Structure 1
Amino acid sequence: MNNNQILKVEFKKYRDNYHECVSDTTFIASCVSEYAKDLEKKLPFQNYYFDTAFFVHNVGPNADDTLKSYNTENYTITPKNIQKWQNAFFSNINIIHIVKFYNAIERFLIISIRNAFFPDVIINNHLQQNINISINRLGYKDKKNNKHLIDFLNETSESCREFLSEKLNVDQNLSWKDFFKLLSVLRNNIAHNGGYIDTDIINNLKGINTKIVDQYFSLESERLVVKDNIQFLNFFGYCDRLCINLIKFIHNQTDLEFLKMY
């Protein structure tokens, strides 16, 4: 495939990921909400809708693995807490989507950097590793939070540099470069710590930008949660603008027609 064909394939992968995030946050969320309302109508006198226990088979040289050990605390969804459960469920979905969105952005960036700067690098399962090696050889060695990719683009492309220095909007005193850093910190924490977050990480995030962290996230039982699942679409919108416009400038384009967007 030539570069245009490669870009078309990768854009479809990225676009499909975006659609999944949006549909889960809107349509699927509304379906679950309607189902919960139906439960209240169909089971008006039900004390609980769902109950599960935690158990595990006891195994080992001297254990009877036919027996199960139970924890005494069950997980129960009741009419009183079903709204809280819905909010928690879709918060978890959106937290997972941050990782999916970031990985999609990372993949699209790597492909575009390869097309624009390292066309001889073969596209295979080692593409990211080989692009990283190529960039490292040019002196960009700090791979933490993919800083080497942004530093490379910032130094190599004037249009990328100008874009990365711009603010997200008039209400956010945050550059696109720092937003990528914030997104990277979020992704790493979610992927490696399951969303459990300590004071150092919170301070790190707020050190990048307090307003956007406080606007979209909160802490509950030391876990990162989304404050408002519908409003969180705006956060995904920032992710989308970052990715597509950065891809545009990497390819020295002035508009998005090269991605068949009019």
Structure 2
Amino acid sequence: VCPKGHECEYLHRLPTLHDLFNPNVDCFGRDKFNDYRDDMGGVGSFMRQNRTLYVGRIHATDDIEEVVSRHFAEWGQVDRIRVLTSRGVAFVTYTNEANAQFAKEAMAHQSLDHSEILNVRWATVDPNPLAQKREARRLEEQAAEAVRRALPADFVAELEGRDPEARKRKKIEGSFGLQGYEPPDEVWYTRTKELEDAGAAGQIEGSGQSLMIEPAAADSEAETGGGIFSSSAVAALRGLSGGNVTTKQAPKASGPLVAYGSDDESD
């Protein structure tokens, strides 16, 4: 029992999947480094998520896989175990990296069913292409699960096709009035692309028409009938008075308002 009780800042239990740790430290709060040590011991690196332990110096027996699984499953959920019986080596992969960190410290220099002293280190990257594909697929599934938790449940169900109402609505809309007809997915993709292209073309045509109409409207407002009022004002007045509006032309100036004479001209 810890003497600090509830004031202790450490967890006196095994880490779980729901425990969130800073990627720069391990489950014990120790700082990680940029790269692994030459002997692949120590805390580890924060550049790669490593869930696999190298376990060496195992007493070689026929049931070595069962023995390793029984002892290492005590520290967390084991994802996969690979055993090299002739060499007395096992690779233990945990589901959670924190459990691998805990198991590494718990099983270091310990023994299994015999008097051997285990050599527990971090495993290097598996060069097997199948293992690399499996790890990439696991990361994709983990990312998809994170996105699935962030989105609403009904939206995710509709995207994955698990919503019966969405399937029924899609079936009704996609029948095109033909009973018993179910269009393939290519029809939906083509129709969606046509709607997107039509919307983009409508936006382009609308902007072009506005550019053509605005100068014409400006010209019509600038036009005048040679009188006092412009043609647009006259049209508005005719609409109000029933069309009995006449415009008077402005008188043309016949000459200067004041006559003047020149000193060189005689009266």
Task: Pick the TM interval, shorter chain.
Answer: under 0.3
The TM-score with structure 2 as length reference comes to: 0.22
**Which has the higher Rg, Structure 1 or Structure 2?**
2
Higher helix share: 1
The TM-score with structure 1 as length reference comes to: 0.22
More contact order relative to length (CA 8 Å, sep ≥ 6):
1
